[in-house]
Amino acid sequence: MSPQIDEINITKSLSAEQAAPRDIADTLAEHKALKISRKNPDSWVIGCDQILVFEGEIFGKPASRDALKHSLSRLAGQTHRLITANVIYKDCKPQWRHIAISHMSMRPMSAADIDTYVAAYWQEVKHAAGGYHFERTPDIFSAVRGHWFDIMGLSIGPIIGFLNQIDTNNPYQNPKLAAVLGHPIAQSKSPRMHGHWLQKNGISGDYIAIDIPPAHFNDTLNMLFDVGFSGFNVTIPHKEQALAFADHMSSRAQRIGAANTLVKTDSGDIRAYNTDGYGFITNLSTQSETWQPKAGPALVLGAGGAARAILVALLEAGLPKIYLSNRTRARADDLIAEISDLIEVIDWQDKEDVLPEVFTVVNSTSLGMTGKAALEFDLTNINPHALVTDLIYAPLETQLLKDARARGCEVVGGIGMLLHQAVPGFEAWFGTRPEVDQELEALMLT
């Protein structure tokens, strides 16, 4: 609920009286809380305000694109203070107040960098003090001393401490934080999935998507852990960097050479896991009533990052042999050299030749995905006892799966892998093992 107070004139008046910036933030938060409390006297009302201070000057919301460029040119390469004030009112009387000060060190930015930033984010940041949203572009900072929720404007930990003093029978829990990191990341469905699990299990927490350019991955990751994150999912192009970043790695992540899950332990160590293979195998075992990995060879199409995880998972499940086919044979040759001599590379044009003998067929390429080229794959001679699976889930049933079903093969879609691979990370960060069910699948497909 917006209280619509006259922030500009209040700030000018207090500044003329030489009030300290923290007192200005506190006064603004109090004005907001009081205005709402007058309309809702029986409710607990939290008033919030933030002030950015650099070299003794208060930086407000940028009035124009040029004003934002000027602010960024002064803040770039420097450390400023972000003052967060929270005041709680009830019955039009103050009950509690808190001030948090975060120290934000911004990276140096050239004029071209600033122009690019303003062009990309002006509409989002024009109502933010200083002209940035830390949650959207944490990579523009080199270091931060503070907590995530303070920087977001709501000091959750202290607020919960106060509320728990009032009501000791039903204590609130401090929220935990996790995120998915990638570049780009706007397309990710992970926040929807984890948000569903948080709500369904009544867990206090948040899961968001954060875009991090590769050049700033390590520094930004360190910073996000420092401000309170429990861990991360990691996607393209950061999986190899995530593995190298960790203090410890699982044997599967080490063998695959990439990590998609990072967990901060109670001792502060960072552990890396790769759950793609777990998600793949769990999807097959839960969706198929007949699949036996040891029944015979498999054919895997593609030699990208997903293929690497699937090859390792299939070998660990006991497959006696795997045929690997990729449009660029050299990439497939490099991949098997790193994994196992139980994998044999066959030329792309010869991939149909092994269909009579394989019991598992996997498409890990993007061919057949909505908006991508079709997968040209003749299943005339496929073993009718083979299971065919496609990692693509848009469309839900690809042409490959339709063709395989028409040949009498059992088929498994790709959405389940996406859902199951997320389970171990959620459990590690939030302490509850979530359930993959039809409700979640339907949500993810909307």
For residue 2, pLDDT over 70 is answered with: no
Per-residue pLDDT band for 317 (boundaries 50, 70, 90) equals very high
Structure token digits, residue 157: 């930990």
Q: In whole numbers, what is the pLDDT of the chain averaged over residues?
A: 95
For residue 5, pLDDT over 90 is answered with: no
146 plus 73 within the same structural domain: yes
Separation of alpha carbons 26 and 31, rounded Å: 9
Separation of alpha carbons 398 and 411, rounded Å: 10
Q: Which residues contact 2 (CB under 8 A, 6 or more apart)?
A: none
Burial class of residue 133, CB neighbours in 10 A (0-12, 13-18, 19+)? middle
The answer as to whether 158 is a domain residue is yes
For residue 387, pLDDT over 80 is answered with: yes
87 plus 35 within the same structural domain: yes
Assign 3-state DSSP to the chain and report helix, strand, coil percentages, each to 5: 45, 20, 35
Residue type (1 letter), 15? S
CATH number of the domain to which 191 belongs? 3.40.50.10860
49 plus 98 within the same structural domain: yes
48 plus 185 within the same structural domain: no
Mean pLDDT value across residues 66-93: 96
Per-residue pLDDT band for 421 (boundaries 50, 70, 90) equals very high
The answer as to whether 215 is a domain residue is yes
Percent of the chain topping pLDDT 90: 88
399 plus 307 within the same structural domain: yes
pLDDT in tens, 95-118: 999 999 999 999 999 999 999 999
Closest CA to 100 of 163, 31, 155, 58: 155
Our answer to whether residue 239 is catalytic in this structure is: yes
Separation of alpha carbons 363 and 414, rounded Å: 10
pLDDT in tens, 251-293: 999 999 999 999 999 999 999 999 999 999 999 999 998 999 9
Give residue 268's region: left, alpha or beta (phi > 0; psi -120 to 50). Answer: left
Per-residue pLDDT at 289: 87
- Domain extent at residue 384: 288-417
The answer as to whether 280 is a domain residue is no
Query: How many domains, in total, are found in the chain?
Result: 3
SS3 label, residue 96: strand
95 plus 141 within the same structural domain: yes
For residue 380, pLDDT over 90 is answered with: yes
189 plus 150 within the same structural domain: no
Per-residue pLDDT at 8: 83
Radius of gyration of the chain (CA): 26
Q: Which residues contact 9 (CB under 8 A, 6 or more apart)?
A: none
For residue 1, pLDDT over 70 is answered with: no
Separation of alpha carbons 52 and 289, rounded Å: 60
Neighbours of 328 (CB within 10 A): 10
Q: Hey, which residues does 233 pair with through a beta bridge?
A: 180, 261
The owner of tokens 């039009």 is 92
C-beta separation of 103 from 79 below 8 A: yes
Write down which residue in 143, 166, 189 finishes a domain.
Answer: 166
27 plus 151 within the same structural domain: yes
Per-residue pLDDT at 130: 87
The answer as to whether 238 is a domain residue is yes
Per-residue pLDDT band for 309 (boundaries 50, 70, 90) equals very high
Residue type (1 letter), 308? R
Q: Hey, which residues does 81 pair with through a beta bridge?
A: 53, 103
338 plus 380 within the same structural domain: yes
Separation of alpha carbons 144 and 21, rounded Å: 20
Mean pLDDT value across residues 18-39: 95
The answer as to whether 442 is a domain residue is no
CATH number of the domain to which 396 belongs? 3.40.50.720
pLDDT in tens, 210-259: 999 999 999 999 999 999 999 999 998 999 999 999 999 999 999 999 99
The answer as to whether 446 is a domain residue is no
Structure token digits, residue 270: 């960072």
Edge-to-edge strand list for the sheet holding 79-90: 57-59, 45-54, 79-90, 93-106, 141-145
SS3 label, residue 342: coil
Separation of alpha carbons 119 and 252, rounded Å: 42
- Which of the following is catalytic: 32, 69, 189, 239? 239
CATH number of the domain to which 35 belongs? 3.90.950.10
Q: Which residues contact 141 (CB under 8 A, 6 or more apart)?
A: 104, 105, 106, 107, 134, 220, 223
For residue 437, pLDDT over 70 is answered with: yes
Percent of the chain topping pLDDT 70: 100
Secondary structure element (H or E) that encloses residue 89, with its range? strand 79-90
412 plus 430 within the same structural domain: no
The owner of tokens 């607020």 is 159
Structure token digits, residue 426: 């959620």
C-beta separation of 376 from 351 below 8 A: no
Secondary structure element (H or E) that encloses residue 400, with its range? helix 399-406
160 plus 181 within the same structural domain: no
143 plus 24 within the same structural domain: yes
Neighbours of 97 (CB within 10 A): 17
Ramachandran angles phi, psi of 209, nearest 5°: -105, 135
List C-alpha distances in Å: 1 to 37, 134, 156, 184, 245. Answer: 11, 22, 18, 32, 42
The answer as to whether 218 is a domain residue is yes
Q: Hey, which residues does 274 pair with through a beta bridge?
A: none
The answer as to whether 2 is a domain residue is no
Write down which residue in 139, 166, 193 finishes a domain.
Answer: 166
Separation of alpha carbons 405 and 399, rounded Å: 10
Write down which residue in 118, 139, 166 finishes a domain.
Answer: 166
